[in-house]
């Protein structure tokens, strides 16, 4: 990250002006070592003090800064209770919490039944009397307004494993990304389903996943669905994938040139669609692979368990184009290590970063692909008592603490650690037992979503969005 990029990040996070000056002066001072930076002692007097990442990070394109500054906002959020149900559709109220966190409170009609979100878009499924979907309405939350989007509907039909799947995918496009919904065929009386997932950067097609069975008998199969025509393409045809059957999970490289196949019966496999081959990762790498996923650069990250008891992990990176696997981390403790030792390694699928809490209370941010380690030091919150959730792009970590005043989840604190700009912002929340919080997740790459309703009235519900 350049100085100008860091200045831009500071402008977006809106810290107090005197704090920005101190950080900038610290960055403009030549560092004592070429691959390490530190904030000056002036930050130590702040209530929210700086944390130093002591790692050699110059070689990592993913973790670009050696300074992670922790801010605990002085003003807590007074979480609003759901108001009266809006009669004509969802309504948005915009606020700036603690002078820094953008909040968008969306009142949903009735109990919010039929409302959901995905890929940064709010949508409502309108249903027939028998429950079948008949239309889907879409909105984006921009500033202080909900803006309707034009929706599309495409019918499709696909056959797999003796079953015919016929359904409709509802979809829309916003800022070059597709959001989509498919009701599927799952129900109490049937044991099959189909779901549709967007492809990053593509607006013409989506991944159609056909599935059968449940629990230990679950299996799935991927197809490519043309959103304009409804045509379906078999993505694994001719690759020899049958050696990995039954498939429990399929992960794709963004260009669909390769996939990682998971099978409870046979382990993990690498499928090269261009080369029309599928082979066991154990055979290809010489390792006993416990888990596998794609790094952002297309290489594979592999997890092995050197201890038969599973108390620790080794992490490897492997390029299918050539060369043996390279171990980047060895002996990472399992998370959680135990009730009396809240430490261990928490790995994030779909990205190349992990978090490790050590027995002496330190927090380590790990670049799993490069092997670089960044140690957080300073007056951090209790990381062992919280849950973490990576953003869709893997460049941010959502931090949440439960047990607050609200019913349900009772989220007492929300925070986001931005691993690229080097800012960790924590917001305390004050809420009433009259509020029931039911879910927490990422709304899009930047915003966090909390679903809530009145504890004594399911007819009043909200969706809370936060941008840190």
Query: Exposed/middle/buried for 326, CB within 10 Å: 0-12, 13-18, 19+?
Result: middle
φ/ψ of residue 281, rounded to 5: -65, -30
pLDDT at 260: 97
φ/ψ of residue 361, rounded to 5: 90, 5
- Per domain, the residue ranges of the chain are 3-467
* Collapsed DSSP state (helix, strand, coil) of residue 251: strand
pLDDT at 468: 94
CA angle 246, 249, 253 (to 5 degrees): 125
pLDDT at 377: 57
d(CA 353, CA 339): 25
pLDDT at 214: 84
Nearest alpha carbon to residue 170 among 149, 200, 187 = 149
Q: Answer for the pair 448, 34: CB distance below 8 angstroms, yes or no.
A: no
Q: Answer for the pair 168, 189: CB distance below 8 angstroms, yes or no.
A: no
Query: Exposed/middle/buried for 391, CB within 10 Å: 0-12, 13-18, 19+?
Result: buried
pLDDT at 326: 97
CA 357 to chain centre: 20
User: The pTM is what?
Assistant: 0.80
Q: How many CB atoms lie within 10 A of CB 427?
A: 24
Element (H, E) at 283: helix 281-285
* Collapsed DSSP state (helix, strand, coil) of residue 185: coil
Which tokens sit at 111? 């109990």
Q: Mean pLDDT, consecutive 10-residue segments, the chain of 468 residues?
A: 32 32 32 26 21 27 50 93 87 95 94 90 91 92 95 96 94 95 67 92 96 90 98 97 95 95 92 96 96 92 90 94 93 71 67 79 82 73 78 88 93 90 89 95 96 91 96
Percentages (nearest 5) of helix, strand, coil residues in the chain: 10, 50, 45
d(CA 341, CA 361): 10
């Amino acid at each position: 990250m350049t100085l100008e990029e860091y200045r831009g990040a500071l402008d977006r996070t809106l810290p107090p002006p005197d704090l920005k000056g101190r950080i900038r002066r610290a960055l403009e001072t030549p560092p004592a070592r070429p691959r390490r930076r530190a904030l000056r002692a002036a930050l130590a007097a702040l209530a929210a003090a700086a944390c130093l990442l002591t790692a050699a990070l110059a070689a990592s394109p993913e973790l670009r800064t050696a300074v992670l500054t922790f801010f605990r906002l002085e003003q807590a959020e007074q979480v609003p209770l759901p108001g009266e149900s809006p009669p004509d559709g969802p309504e948005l109220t915009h606020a700036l919490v603690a002078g820094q966190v953008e909040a968008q409170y969306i009142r949903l009609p009735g109990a919010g039944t039929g409302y959901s979100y995905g890929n940064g878009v709010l949508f409502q499924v309108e249903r027939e009397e028998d429950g079948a979907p008949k239309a889907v309405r879409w909105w984006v939350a921009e500033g202080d307004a909900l803006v309707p989007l034009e929706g599309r509907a495409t019918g499709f039909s696909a056959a797999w494993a003796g079953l015919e799947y016929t359904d409709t995918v509802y979809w829309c496009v916003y800022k070059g990304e597709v959001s989509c919904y498919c009701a599927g065929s799952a129900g109490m009386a049937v044991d099959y389903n189909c779901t549709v997932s967007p492809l990053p950067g593509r607006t013409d097609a989506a991944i159609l996943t056909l599935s059968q069975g449940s629990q230990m008998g679950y299996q799935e199969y991927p197809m490519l669905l043309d959103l304009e025509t409804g045509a379906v393409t078999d993505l694994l045809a001719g690759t020899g994938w049958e050696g990995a059957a039954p498939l429990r999970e399929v992960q794709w490289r963004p260009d669909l040139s390769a996939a990682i196949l998971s099978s409870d019966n046979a382990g993990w496999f690498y499928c090269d669609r261009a080369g029309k081959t599928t082979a066991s990762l154990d055979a290809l790498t010489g390792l006993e692979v416990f888990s596998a996923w794609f790094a952002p650069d297309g290489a594979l990250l592999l997890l092995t368990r050197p201890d038969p008891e599973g108390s620790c992990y080794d992490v490897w990176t492997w390029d299918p184009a050539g060369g043996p696997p390279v171990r980047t981390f060895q002996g990472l403790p399992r998370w959680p290590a135990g009730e009396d030792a809240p430490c261990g390694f928490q790995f994030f699928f779909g990205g190349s970063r992990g978090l490790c809490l050590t027995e002496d209370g330190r927090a380590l941010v790990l670049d799993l692909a490069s092997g670089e380690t960044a140690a957080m030091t300073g007056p951090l919150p209790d990381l062992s008592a919280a849950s973490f959730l990576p953003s869709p792009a893997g460049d941010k970590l959502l931090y949440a603490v439960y047990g607050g005043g609200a019913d349900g989840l009772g989220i007492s604190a929300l925070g986001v650690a931005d691993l690229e700009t080097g800012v960790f912002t924590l917001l305390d929340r004050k809420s009433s037992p009259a509020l029931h919080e039911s879910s927490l997740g990422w709304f899009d790459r930047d915003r966090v979503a909390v679903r809530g309703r009145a504890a004594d009235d399911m007819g009043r519900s909200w969706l809370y969005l936060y941008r840190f």
